[in-house]
Amino acid sequence: MREHTWYECHCEQSGCMFCDGGLGACTVCGGAEGTLTTECCGRRLTEEEKDKVYKEGTLDYLDGQWINPKEKERKHENDNR
C-alpha cells in the first residue's frame, strides 16, 4: 500500500485552506480532497484521471492497480440478486 504524502502548510495565515480548513492534498499525485484515490499511484494524476475519480466516480487506485469502483458495485449488486 502506498500512502499519500500530505502537503504541510506553515503560512499560519487566517483563512488558509490548509492551515485553517484542514484541506488534504498529496504532494506526489497532486490529488486533493475529492480527487484523492484510496492509495497514491506514485505519479501526478492527469486532469482526465482527476475527473474520473471525482466527477464520474469511475476511477480509483487500490492495491497497486487502477480500478473502476462502479464496476465493482455492479458486480456486488448482481451477486446479491
On whether the CB atoms of residues 28 and 40 are closer than 8 A, the answer is yes
Look at the block and give the residue holding cell 458495485. Answer: 73
At residue 48, the pLDDT reads 98
d(CA 5, CA 9): 13
At residue 41, the pLDDT reads 98
Residue extents of the structural domains in the chain: 1-81
Residue numbers in the chain where pLDDT is lower than 70:
72-81
Q: Which pLDDT tens digit goes with each residue over 10-20?
A: 888 888 888 88
